[in-house]
Amino acid sequence: MRRVLIIDDEDDIREVAALSLEATAGWQILTANCGTKGIEVAAAERPDAILMDVMMPEVDGPTTFRLMQQNPTIAHIPVLLLTAKVQGADQRRFANLGVNGILFKPFDPLTLAQQISDILGWKEGTSDPPPAIPST
């Protein structure tokens, strides 16, 4: 069973995403309401992937991702950013971080698991991590 950590400061987003992924894919969901807590949960639980909001108070998503990359325990975990920013420059900036993918808010709860699986190349019975998005 896949385990996905959702890091988002908005309770509603965490809840909808968690319910969606549990119901449509049967994944086990872990949650954190900030980047600092997300790093702690990731290190303790070692999820198969992390879905993380870009804009959070205190420590934003890109900063949290950079901190995760400095921790050898969790640096290998695929990270997808979740954002409402759809500007091309923002997308390039996020991709240049080395994240595995970018998903946009609002997302469709019925297709969220499939979008994550497609980006990460997950197929039933496999668990190989995907490559990061190449920098441009």
Domains observed in the chain:
3-120 (3.40.50.2300)
Identify residue 45 by its one-letter amino acid code. E
- Label residue 57 by pLDDT band (50, 70, 90): very high
Query: What pLDDT sits at residue 124?
Result: 59
pTM metric for this prediction: 0.87
pLDDT of 41 > 70? The answer is: yes
Enumerate the β-bridge partners of residue 53.
82
Identify residue 110 by its one-letter amino acid code. L
CA distance 83 to 48: 20
Q: What is the pLDDT of residues 66-103, one digit of tens each?
A: 999 999 999 999 999 999 876 777 778 887 889 999 99
